[in-house]
Amino acid sequence: MAVPRLLEKENLIGALLAIFGHLVVSIALNLQKYCHIRLAGTKDPRAYFKTKTWWLGLFLLLLGELGVFASYAFAPLSLIVPLSAVSVIASAIIGIIFIKEKWKPKDFLRRYVLSFVGCGLAIVGTYLLVTFAPNSHEKMTGENITRHLVSWPFLLYMLVEIILFCLLLYFYKEKNVNNIVVILLLVALLGSMTVVTVKAVAGMLVLSIQGNLQLDYPIFYVMFVCMVATAIYQAAFLSQASQMYDSSLIASVGYILSTTIAITAGAVFYLDFIGEDALHICMFALGCLIAFLGVFLITRNRKKAIPFEPYISMDAMPGMQNMHDKGMVVQPDLKASFSYGALENNDNISEVYAPATLPVMQEEHSSRSAPGVPYRVLEHTKKE
């Protein structure tokens, strides 16, 4: 039987920083979403800049991201990455407080019980992850990072990842394969390189602050450039995914894929599991599976919001032909609303606004009008 063990001091600091950072980020994102919902009816689209709530959310967001960034310098990558489940758990609970979602008795058993069960499973999985995570952690010096970078396991891993990334990108761009797994696999592959470089940059910065200067190593700037580049492209693919799929689906599938690939990258690059016995590795894997299941249950029954349509509804215009009956799309079909971090897509904007309609004005067409007018004009009688 695998015996739980106490984390080393640095690993414990890293885990606490990661949990604190994810909690603060969740609060910040829900605060900002709450602010945007409150100001949805204002004429000024930038009115949120004038509110203290939005700026408080921005400050907390930066504070939380700083905590997560610093956590990579103290603990193994395989321990820090799965702790992003804390963000999903917090968003599920805090979102109800800030967004003020209405509780419906008929939906309680169908939606909320599963969400609470998911939170419980995610907490249990997180406990197992922290308890049985790799306990060894080396200093992020320039020599150590360079040695890992040119090791043959990582070079082989990079070759496989580059080939897989190019294949996925080809199918996504050239073959228009817009499956969510394809897009989020691209995000996960980029994200694995992001966390590897973040750990290197954060570790070298912490050592430099402690007096062991590491900023004179060229590898620091190589890692910094890779960190920024992969983060930017990762955000771009996430933005494209959010336009086609619901944010709760992205949160669950993205967490599973990103965590799995990031742990693999950490095990290959930083050799996180070297010296670990099989029982502790199996318990760590079990914690990952339980956390995956919990996140899936949390996001499974989230309702989809009907996005606000700031354009003219052609069906609502009297006298216009209904082109939808022939399978022709007149309006863009948005499958997800923009989310500011909360898993609840309950902007409720559709309850306030309705698609604008325009009255049909009778027009006189001269004999020079081109035949085959792409719309039909009603014949108005004198009584009308």
Over residues 39-43, mean pLDDT: 74
What are the distances in angstroms from CA 10 to CA 20, 74, 76, 164, 277? 15, 5, 10, 35, 21
Among 75-79, 268-272, 358-362, name the one with the lowest average pLDDT.
Answer: 358-362
- The answer to whether position 87 is within a domain reads no
- The answer to whether position 60 is within a domain reads no
Length of the chain: 384
- The answer to whether position 163 is within a domain reads yes
- The answer to whether position 201 is within a domain reads yes
Position 354 confidence tier, pLDDT thresholds 50, 70, 90: very low
Complete DSSP assignment for 221-286:
HHHHHHHHHHHHHHHHHHHHHHHHS-HHHHHHHHHHHHHHHHHHHHHHHS-TTTT--HHHHHHHHH
Q: Which residue has the higher pLDDT, 317 or 108?
A: 108
> Residues of 269-291 as b/e, b for ≥16 C-beta within 10 angstroms?
bbbbbeebeeebeebbebbbebb
Is it the case that residue 307 has pLDDT exceeding 50?
A: no
Q: Residue 184 has which token pair?
A: 């989020």
- The answer to whether position 252 is within a domain reads yes
Gap between the Cα atoms of 130 and 8, Å rounded: 11
Position 164 confidence tier, pLDDT thresholds 50, 70, 90: very high
Position 273 confidence tier, pLDDT thresholds 50, 70, 90: confident
- pLDDT confidence of residue 234: 92
Note the pLDDT tens digit of each residue in 180-190. Answer: 999 999 999 99
Over residues 15-19, mean pLDDT: 91
Position 334 confidence tier, pLDDT thresholds 50, 70, 90: very low
Is it the case that residue 245 has pLDDT exceeding 80?
A: yes
Is it the case that residue 6 has pLDDT exceeding 80?
A: no
Q: Give the residue numbers spanning the domain of 210.
A: 139-270
Gap between the Cα atoms of 336 and 163, Å rounded: 31
Helix 180-209 with 52-71: angle, nearest 10 deg: 70
Asked whether the beta carbons of 311 and 142 are under 8 A apart, the reply is no
Is it the case that residue 309 has pLDDT exceeding 50?
A: no
Q: Residue 41 has which token pair?
A: 């009816």
Alpha-carbon torsion 254, 257, 260, 265, what sign? negative
Asked whether the beta carbons of 309 and 331 are under 8 A apart, the reply is yes
Gap between the Cα atoms of 333 and 328, Å rounded: 12
Q: Spell out the residues 6+ positions from residue 288 whose beta carbon is closer than 8 angstroms to its own.
A: 82, 125, 129, 259, 260, 263
Gap between the Cα atoms of 359 and 81, Å rounded: 56
- pLDDT confidence of residue 198: 94
- The answer to whether position 54 is within a domain reads no
Q: Spell out the residues 6+ positions from residue 358 whose beta carbon is closer than 8 angstroms to its own.
A: 312, 317
Tell me the percentage of the chain whose pLDDT exceeds 70: 71
Is it the case that residue 365 has pLDDT exceeding 90?
A: no
Q: List, as own/partner pairs, every contact residues 167-175 make where C-beta atoms lie below 8 angstroms and the sequence separation is at least 24, other chains included.
A: none
- pLDDT confidence of residue 353: 39
Mean pLDDT, the chain, as a whole number?
Answer: 77
Among 132-136, 180-184, 237-241, name the one with the lowest average pLDDT.
Answer: 132-136
Gap between the Cα atoms of 35 and 40, Å rounded: 9
- The answer to whether position 231 is within a domain reads yes
Statement: the pTM of the whole predicted model exceeds 0.75: no
Collapsed DSSP state (helix, strand, coil) of residue 181 = helix
- The answer to whether position 144 is within a domain reads yes
Which one-letter amino acid corresponds to residue 115? S
Q: Which among 75, 188, 161, 83 has a CA at the least distance from the CA of 127? A: 83
Domain count, the chain: 1
Highest mean pLDDT among 53-62, 185-194, 313-322: 185-194
- pLDDT confidence of residue 110: 62
Is it the case that residue 305 has pLDDT exceeding 50?
A: no
